[in-house]
Amino acid sequence: MRWPQLLSSAAVLLPALAAARPAELDARDQILLTSTPSSALDDAHDSARIPRDEPEIGTGHLSQWSKQNKADFLHALRNNSASDWVVVMGNEASDADSLVSALALSYMYTHLPEPRKAVALLQREEDALDLRPENGLALHYARMSSGHRDLLTIDDLPMKPEEVSRRIEGIALVDHNVPLSVWAGAKVVAIFDHHDDRGYANDTANPRIIERSGSCSSLVTRYMLDQLPDSASSSFHGPIPKELIELILRTIAVDTSGLKKDSSQPVDLEAAERIFPRSTWRNRDFKTSMKLLDKDMSASRKALDTLDVRSLLRRDWKGDVIKTKSSKHSMISLGFASAPVSLEEQIERTPEGTAPEWFAIERAWTSEIQADVSVALTNFRGDDGEKHRQLAVVVAHGYGHRLHDGSANRLFRAIVKAIEDSGVEGMKKWKRPDGKKLLPRRAVWQYQSDFASRKYWRPIIEASVREWEG
Ligand SMILES: [Mn+2]
């Protein structure tokens, strides 16, 4: 499974999911259900690029801002009224560093106390961006749109760069310090770079920051943080969108091999340290997180590391229809997922990293395949180095599902009883990372066991459903 395929199908919302309006979910779930990207992993063969008129699903704040900004710029350019716009561009390799540095700098310009109009331009054709899997991964996590419609690429320009150069205020260079020849006619208004200084635009570029660093995005970040002071009242990540903050952290991490001494400079550490407390990972250990982000980015070719929750549930799903003793519900569809990824990590992989989202994705998946009961099992090595397992049971009811309140509750209790009576020792109730209670008809345990895998649980849970009298 390659990233381009995974990504191009990432925002395909399946019809069953689109139709579902679950009654049971809390308000948060409902919002999330409509904004949850799902990746149809097994449908890769027919995952043609989403048509341009498809509604945008599952994109984040950064994506929406970027898309609007791009549209505004193109509109101004076509009307020859773009003389107050700065085009921020990375180098033509368009690696994560170029991409993220350009996005960050253009975001900063447009959010200054006295905003400047600025747009990030990637010097690549739109479809070539996917050739770098780490970009795909980072953009996916940043909830940017599939097909990169929210990014301005060189093939989006309605005229040649030479003509664009005449119509704009100027260009800002990031991750390189001499413009490509097609941009030679443009005024260089700023440079942020970590390559050898070739002495270009000494008199026009302001600032002109050319310094050794592992990642150019560190230089941009330091500048951005100095220019955009915290507005104390706003949310924890301050005025900079979380998606951008995390894109920057991923980029610094991969460019410095997780802040290793020989591939980073003090500015990398400083920039990452300053911005880390605004990320969703802020309660974790900083250094460990940076190493993990590097690992994640570096390993992005390995499909499992990049699988989202729906794909993890689907990947190894074993389901069946069980005949019960209930006259009203004589058939119950029951399925088991198993993944070597902890629930905590799966939750992290949801777009906002929340437990309600995990349950919303789980619910969307079970409505899609019409399962009444799902059992999600995990096995993983914990921070303590030990092997752990988790078991999550959800009995679905309400819109899009067949069971109603009473039956669903009774079936849930029967399954929970079978699990608790099984004799597996040390089954502890799992706690949501946010400390909140699970909604009804959901139960999760954490335990250690050599034998209590899906192979063990499946007959026990199926038996409880077979014996269920409704
Ligand atoms: Mn670079």
- How confident is the model at residue 53, as a pLDDT? 33
- How confident is the model at residue 105, as a pLDDT? 97
Distance from Cα 214 to the centre of ligand 1, integer Å: 7
- On whether both 454 and 317 belong to a single domain, the answer is yes
Q: What angle do CA 150, 62, 90 make, to 5 degrees?
A: 65
- On whether both 318 and 441 belong to a single domain, the answer is yes
Residues 192-209 pLDDT 10s: 999 889 899 999 999 999
Does residue 459 sit within a domain? yes
- On whether both 364 and 447 belong to a single domain, the answer is yes
Is the pTM above the cut of 0.75?
no
- On whether both 159 and 76 belong to a single domain, the answer is yes
C-beta of residue 126 within 8 angstroms of C-beta of residue 148? yes
Write the DSSP string, 437-458: PPPTTEEEEEE--SS-SHHHHH
Domain final position from 243, 274, 304: 304
C-beta of residue 118 within 8 angstroms of C-beta of residue 106? yes
For the segment 321-342, the average pLDDT, to the nearest whole number, is 91
Q: Is the pLDDT of residue 420 over 90?
A: yes
Distance from Cα 207 to the centre of ligand 1, integer Å: 18
Residue range of the domain that includes 182:
47-304
In 3D space, the residue among 326, 229, 222, 198 whose CA is nearest the CA of residue 272 turns out to be 222
For the segment 149-174, the average pLDDT, to the nearest whole number, is 94
Average pLDDT across the chain, whole number: 82
Share of the chain above pLDDT 90, in %: 55
Does residue 234 sit within a domain? yes
Q: How confident is the model at residue 61 (pLDDT cuts 50, 70, 90)?
A: confident
Distance from Cα 35 to the centre of ligand 1, integer Å: 33
Q: What is the number of structural domains in the chain? A: 2
- On whether both 268 and 318 belong to a single domain, the answer is no
Ranking 90-99, 270-279, 334-343, 435-444 by mean pLDDT, the lowest is 90-99
- How confident is the model at residue 285, as a pLDDT? 96
CATH number, domain of 122, equals 3.90.1640.10
Distance from Cα 3 to the centre of ligand 1, integer Å: 22
Distance from Cα 105 to the centre of ligand 1, integer Å: 14
Distance from Cα 255 to the centre of ligand 1, integer Å: 8
Distance from Cα 245 to the centre of ligand 1, integer Å: 17
- On whether both 83 and 94 belong to a single domain, the answer is yes
Distance from Cα 404 to the centre of ligand 1, integer Å: 56
CATH number, domain of 409, equals 3.10.310.20
- On whether both 331 and 260 belong to a single domain, the answer is no
For the segment 213-225, the average pLDDT, to the nearest whole number, is 96
Strand order in the sheet with 208-210: 152-153, 117-122, 85-89, 170-174, 188-193, 208-210
- On whether both 363 and 294 belong to a single domain, the answer is no
- How confident is the model at residue 92, as a pLDDT? 73
Residue 412, both tokens: 């849930």
Distance from Cα 175 to the centre of ligand 1, integer Å: 5
Distance from Cα 92 to the centre of ligand 1, integer Å: 11
Domain final position from 263, 288, 304: 304
What are the φ/ψ torsions at residue 291 (nearest 5 degrees)?
A: -65, -40
Distance from Cα 10 to the centre of ligand 1, integer Å: 27
Distance from Cα 364 to the centre of ligand 1, integer Å: 40
- How confident is the model at residue 60, as a pLDDT? 83
Distance from Cα 251 to the centre of ligand 1, integer Å: 9
Distance from Cα 239 to the centre of ligand 1, integer Å: 25
Q: Cis omega before residue 277 (within 30°)?
A: no
